[in-house]
Amino acid sequence: MKTLTVFILCLAVCMSTTDLFAEIRESDFGATLTQTIELQLKSKDNVGEVIAMVKEVRKQLRNEQEENASAYKVVADACRADFDGYDRRTDSLEAVVTKNKRLVMIDGPVFEDRTTEKGNRENELAARTSDLAAMNEEDAFLKDVFAGVVEEHNAVRSMMH
């Protein structure tokens, strides 16, 4: 009886201090397990069988914990791989942005110079176009004057002959 009492006290202490047993006490499975242990102890069954049963439950819980840990490890590794990929992609995009900023710094003044040059050429073209129009008007006027001079010359010549 003393062995039984000591075992129950040890079991009670373990259940109150170990998080593993806290989950057992709070679940339906744990309540059923503790009731089974109590029944076996009350019926004065062999304590060795109770201990073996507790050890088997502990072994199963540890196996479950290892399976969950390995499943978590797989998911965590996949997440780490994804984050590493995201980090590499972000670094790559940051390099592209930095390169583009440098190109803007270098090409910005060249663009401004070329834009100014284009504006100057457009102004020069407009000035030359207006000069051409003025020259065309002057040419037409001079052609009329020349035609008049030729007529006058022909008239004077025909009078002299």
Whole-angstrom distance, CA of residue 111 vs CA of residue 10: 85
- pLDDT tens for 111-133 read 999 999 999 999 999 999 999 99
Whole-angstrom distance, CA of residue 13 vs CA of residue 109: 80
pLDDT grade for 29, boundaries at 50, 70 and 90: low
Whole-angstrom distance, CA of residue 134 vs CA of residue 122: 18
Average pLDDT score over residue span 62-71: 92
Q: Any idea which of 24-33, 80-89, 119-128 has the lowest mean pLDDT?
A: 24-33
- Please tell me which residue, 144 or 17, carries the higher pLDDT value: 144
pLDDT exceeding 70 applies to what percent of the chain? 70
Q: Which residues contact 8 (CB under 8 A, 6 or more apart)?
A: 41
Q: Which residues contact 11 (CB under 8 A, 6 or more apart)?
A: 37, 54
Q: What is the pLDDT of residue 20?
A: 53
Sort 34 into a burial class: Cβ within 10 Å, 0-12 / 13-18 / 19+.
middle
pLDDT grade for 102, boundaries at 50, 70 and 90: very high
Q: What is the pLDDT of residue 160?
A: 83
Is residue 15's pLDDT more than 60?
no
Q: What is the pLDDT of residue 19?
A: 53
Q: Share the mean pLDDT of the chain.
A: 83
Q: What is the pLDDT of residue 93?
A: 97
Taking the whole predicted model, whether its pTM rises above 0.75 is answered as no
pLDDT grade for 1, boundaries at 50, 70 and 90: low
